Structures are given as C-alpha cells and as structure tokens.
A and B are shown apart, each in its own frame.
Chain A
C-alpha cells in the first residue's frame, strides 16, 4: 500500500476525538475511562485471578518454583499495565512471557538436565528414593495387631485412616503421620474431629476409591522405619513395615532379611558391596559424564557417529538437491514463450501444498516392499526392500524430502530470477557471454544473494526434520547392536527422541539432553558461520 493511500485511511479517526487543547490540565482532559481501559482491566483481572489460583495450588503441592515464578509474572503484568511508563513492554510482555517460559526456560532446563542422571530410576530426590525403596520392601509385621479402622476424608478429597488403638483414636493421612485425636470404646472410629467418615456404602460402590484406599499408607510416625498402617478391606488396618531399614546418619539401607547393606553413592543409587543395587535412585549432578559418554562409550559413540554423519549428509542434500531441481525448473519455465505457466506453476507446487506428515506417511505405504506401489508399478513387481536396507532407506527418505521441498525452491528461484535486472544480462550477451557463462557469472551469484539465507534456514530445518524421518520409517532399519534402537536413517533429533525414552521404555533424560546440547552447539556454530558468509555475499552485490 502506498503512503498516499495509507494517509487517506488515517485522517478519519483523528477528527472525532477532540484533541486536548494545549495548556489544558491533564485532569480536565479526562474523558472517562473508555472501553479500551475496561477491556484492559478485565484482562489483567483475569490474569490476576489465574495467578492467585496457581499460587494456591502450587502451595498445596509444594511447587515452590512455580509459585515464585507465578508471583513474579503477575506482579510484572500488574506493574507493566498500570504504569504510564514501560510503554514498549505493554506490547512485548504477552509474547515475552511465553518466550521466556516455553523457550528460554526450557533451553536452560535442557542444559541443566544434561548435567544430571535424570531418567528412569533417577527421577526424584533422595528422600523420595528412600521412601520408594522402603515401600517396595514392605511386608506386614508378623503377629502385629489388627486395628478397627475407618476411612476418613477432608478438604478436596484428601483421604486418611482413623484407627482405634485400645480406646485411643488416632488419625493420619499419607502426608501426616498418625496423631491422637480422642478416646472411644471398642469398634471402628465413628467421629473424628476435623475429618468426615467415608460411608461404607460409598466405599463399596466406588471402584476408584477402593483402589486409592488399598494404596493408601499412613505412616505410624515421622520415622519411615516405624512402618505404616495399611488396609486391605477399609474396615481394619495393620502395621506394615519394610524389611529394609533406612539409616539416615550412615546413609545406608539395610535389608533385615539377609543383612545386605546398601550404601548411598554420589551417583544417586543405593549399591551393596557385591555390586547389586536397589531399583530406586535419585537424581544428582554428574558433571560432564553424559557428554563424555556420548563421545567415548564405544557401544554408543559408534552408532552416534554414523547418525551424526547421516544427519549432515541428509541436511546438506535436502537443501542442495531440491535447490538444484527448483532452480533448473525455474530457469526452464521462466520463459514467456511457454504458455500456461500459471497452471504449470500450480501443478508443480502441489507437493508443497500437501501437509508434510501426510506425505511422509503416504510414501511410507508407497515404498513398502510387499504391497507398495513403487515396486509394483516402476519396478515390475520386484521385491525391493526399500525400508529395510540401509542404503535404499536413506535414498528413499531423501527422495521423499526432495519431493517435499523442490516446489519451495522452485517458487523462491522463480521470484529471485524475476528480480535479476535484465540489463546486466543483456550487457553480458552483447559482450559475447554464452548461456553457461551468463548463468555461472551473473545469474547464480545474484540469485545466491537472496537465496543463501533461505538455504541456511532450510539446512537448519533439515538438520532437525523429525517429522519426515520418524513418520517415514522411524529412523530404521535398526543398526545391529546399537543401544536405544538407533537406526540407519535416524538423524540426531530422532536419535535423541529414542534415547530420551519419552515415548515409553527406559528413559535417559540426562544423556538425551546432553546430546541435544551438542546439537544446539552444532546448529549455532553453523548458523553463525553461514550468516557471516551471507553478509560477504551481500557485499559482493
């Protein structure tokens, strides 16, 4: 839109708002709050309400980090939107909040995890690991008394047990050990101050509640070694004790059945002298261990090297081949004598208009060795194992990616070709430059100035093109003997996905994050170098 048109649109709004006369005081210029202010008030009120809600529930589950972050966030919103200063921030804040929470923070968090052993068996604090270990070793105490018991409830579904211990009523919940609340005769407690008794009929009819009650453990005292009350039927309870004993002073867990002593190690697990360890561990910082493992553990380093090499080959070829094809098509059809170029262009870019995930899945079917159409139609029914052979699978996934992205380069190159000044070409032609000379010396350099940054960006996309790799063939076929199911067409990001175990199986978040950090660094270095190169290209222009 031209400046004139733009200004034509501008003038109307200005006349219905009477401008403040110069010299008039700010108070006299006050013209009511205006609907804009009301909208702002409502929105900020909603943010505050949400913030209070989050703070309360964060307090309940003792998530101090989220609680703190939320307070800071709400305070920031209130300050920014109710002061006259910080004008730019009024516009930046919404995006900034999401950027900080879901991009900057998660990068930092990834870096942090990379230096820990976070993963299956190392997911919580040491305290949680001890508790988990003791629960796993829990048995009913032999000859222990059975107490009459009532299931009680308070607040928002917090369940507990009330027991009658020879006339003394004790009550407690999962988080609160038993404490005395009153006296009574024989039988299950009927009245527990501060708690409501859960009706037996409700207990019998509600399956989910029954399961919760069976899983509920109410500690007898603050010391986990004292065991806890559990109930099989919701009407009587008994003390269960772990056969494992936790000694906080010595940092050991002893198995009372056979006397094995498990020591807490600085690697976040309990290990006995004979090398056996308890399944429950906690997560600790492990320094550069994960990074060292990536490069030195031969079982991991060799497949990873293969994956890394393929990542580069895949990313580079995924730019070069479609670029070359797109440029070729653009050169050929950038010819006014060819009629119907608009129709042709629309047909050429069909792959680009097809969602990537669908293309990858469709090709997955088409390349299938047994019933795929590619073997059927183009190889006369031969049984070529496209997805099962390392080289064929690599070729196939490249083929798919080229198919997906040549239209993009065709569009970009067509645009860039049309922007090249014709006088330069004519001058070259008069000077006797042939077709190839003109292409290499004029068209290509000029074209690269505008397309090189796009090529870099699309290299970065190819480097992390999880969708195509994973949907097409899950990164397969598998490399024999490689851990975590790494395959021949896996690129680094899909390898990270396999290692992380977020889709199930044993998880190693620490190792996967370390690998992600390595990829971050690689991508960053490549981007930095190539942007410097592009700047040089621009100077060349």
Chain B
C-alpha cells in the first residue's frame, strides 16, 4: 500500500545529515526491510516439502528420515530404479489421457461457446443456465453410477468398459463441458461480431468463420483452458482409481498411491524420485504460463 507519504520533517541543522540517513534506514527497515525477512519465511514454507522431496529422491538409501541432513548423499540410483517399475507406463498413460482430454475438451468447449456466442436460437438462455447448474455438481460424486454404467457398457463394447483409456477420456469429456464453455463463452463474446458479419458478406460459411477467423483470435484462452484441464486430469484420482483396474493401465496418481499406501513396505526413495519427475510437466507448464493462468483463474476456474 502507498503509505510512504508519511511526513518527513527535516531538521535544518547542519550535521543532521547523518541523523537523516539513519532515520531513513530505520524507516526502510520498518516499512520495507522486514518484508524480505517475511519472504524468506514464506519461501521456506512453500518450498521446504519440495526441496525435501528432491533431497530424498537423491538419497540412495530410500528413506524419508532427515537424520542425515538434506542432500547429504547424492546419487541417481532412485531415478534409474524407476526403469524396473511400471513408472514409465503410468507416466505414459497419464500423459496420453491428460493430453487427449485437454485437446478434446477444448475443441468441444470452443464449439459450444461459438454456438452460444454467435447464434440466437430458441432455448439458448435455458441451455446456458442449464449448463451453469449442471457444472455446479461435481461428476466425482456420481462415481457409483459411473461404476455401474461402465459395467453395462463394457458388456456391449469392451473398449468403453473398465480398464480402458477411451472410457475414462469419455467420462472426463462429459464432466468438462460446463465449466469450459463458460470460460470460453465470455471470451468469445469479446470478439466483435462484426468480424463474422463481414466475412459472411464475403461468402464465408459458418465453418470457415469458426475455424479460420474465430479460432486464431481466441487461441490464448484456448491454451489456458487446455492447460487447466491438463492439470486437472493429470491429478485426477477417484475416477481413474475406479475405471483403470489393471496395473499397466493405471495413471501416475493411482500407481504412485499404490507405492506408499502401505507405509511399512513403501519405498520412499523410488516414490520421491517418481514424484520429482512426475511434477515436472505441471511445474514447467505452470511456471511458464503463470501470467495466463492468473487470467484464466480469475475468470472462474479453480484447481481441484
């Protein structure tokens, strides 16, 4: 806050120069300096678990205890050890599911937002409010119905039953439309409709307008929505745990839970090495795109 306007009555005595610098330094300490100290505390709070994870990952003895101090011994054994596990299969599954889900859900969301933003049709308002209501209810709460539905679907189409990446992607597709459409709808409305109209006069079809005009203009928000849905899908646990039943189909979240769910046999060295690598995709994306994410977040999305 701009509180630096406090009055500075300067005594006009000769030799008061030293007093003045001392006073200024004290004021700096009181108003600004402590903020650096405070920052150190926050950074410690924020970063300690992460630094600690890195240290444990590099510790070949595979314990979580800090008795020997952080980074006391360094080795890449744990990382190499991941090759003997299913870790990379899980990582691949997570990436495939998250990438396909985010691309597909953005395309569907953009198409829906385009329809709501550009066409005036009967039932438009009703469907918009319908979407708003539906998206308030988390899909995860209905996991029993998902479970039973997959039982029935799997009998007819095994590819849409349990243990199928396609099935889980379809389920995620079903859950994202509401929230995404609203984020995108707001942004689509900021693109002036005159653009569409002039293109229409020039003979462009609605499909051309959508793919060639609107799409390039809304790319930033599409990227943000895709990223948020990537992050959410990558971390999703409940539905993946139910749907993906065999070890080679697990995602990272399900697989790594299995590693530490039994505290006694848990291999924390492998786990922390996996955690460090598993965090990289999200870490890099978030830090690179943090400015866009802030914009996206404040327009309504939440980390879940």
Contact = CB atoms under 8 A, between A and B. Distances in A.
Contacts of B175: 102-103
Chain B CB within 10 Å — which of A103, A105, A426 has the most? A103
Contact of B36 (A338, A349, A416, A461): A338
B144 interface: yes
A98 B149 CA distance: 14
B153 interface: yes
B249 interface: no
Contact of B156 (A57, A98, A356, A412): A57
Nearest to B283: A353
A434 to B, nearest CB: 10
A104 B134 contact: yes
A27 interface: no
Interface in B169-195: 170-171, 173-175, 177-178, 181, 191-192, 194-195
A415 interface: yes
Nearest to B282: A355
B192 A6 contact: yes
Given A66-B153, A509-B144, 6 more contacts: A102-B175, A335-B35, A415-B298, A435-B3, A470-B238, A513-B145
A106 B146 contact: yes
A110 to B, nearest CB: 4
Nearest to B32: A337
Given A361-B275, A411-B294, A98 B217 contact: no
A466 interface: yes
A101 interface: yes
Contacts of B119: 87-88, 91
Interface of B: 1-5, 31-32, 35-36, 38-39, 42-43, 45-47, 49-50, 52-53, 63-67, 107-109, 111-112, 114-116, 119, 121, 124, 127, 134, 136-149, 152-153, 155-157, 170-171, 173-175, 177-178, 181, 191-192, 194-195, 198-199, 201-208, 210, 212-213, 216-217, 231, 234-238, 241-242, 252-253, 256-257, 260-261, 263, 266, 268, 271-272, 275, 278-279, 282-283, 286-287, 290, 293-294, 297-298, 300, 302-304
B286 A338 contact: no
B203 A17 contact: yes
Closest 4 CB pairs of A and B: A102-B174, A14-B202, A353-B286, A95-B108
A438 interface: yes
Contact of B256 (A110, A361, A461): A361
A362 B65 CA distance: 12
A516 B1 contact: no
B286 to A, nearest CB: 4
A496 B141 contact: yes
A354 interface: yes
Where chain B touches its partner, the secondary structure class is helix
Given A109-B148, A412-B297, A92 B64 contact: no
20 contacts: A91-B111, A91-B114, A95-B108, A95-B181, A98-B170, A98-B177, A105-B145, A106-B139, A338-B36, A348-B42, A353-B279, A356-B235, A358-B278, A361-B275, A364-B260, A365-B268, A366-B64, A376-B65, A412-B297, A466-B238
B174 A520 contact: no
A106 B64 contact: no
Nearest to B232: A356
Contacts of A391: none
B237 A467 contact: yes
Nearest to A334: B1
A103 B174 contact: yes
B173 A88 contact: no
Contacts of B174: 98-99, 101-103, 106
A355 B279 contact: yes
Nearest to B217: A6
Interface residues of A, number: 125
Contacts of B145: 105-107, 109-110, 113, 513
A453 B300 contact: yes
A61 B155 contact: yes
A350 B124 CA distance: 41
Contacts of B202: 13-15, 17, 19
Nearest to B237: A467
Contacts of A453: 300
Given A10-B198, A408-B297, A467-B237, A376 B257 contact: no
Interface in A39-76: 53-54, 57-58, 61, 63, 65-66
Contacts of B124: 88
Interface in A173-188: none
Contacts of A349: 46, 286-287, 290
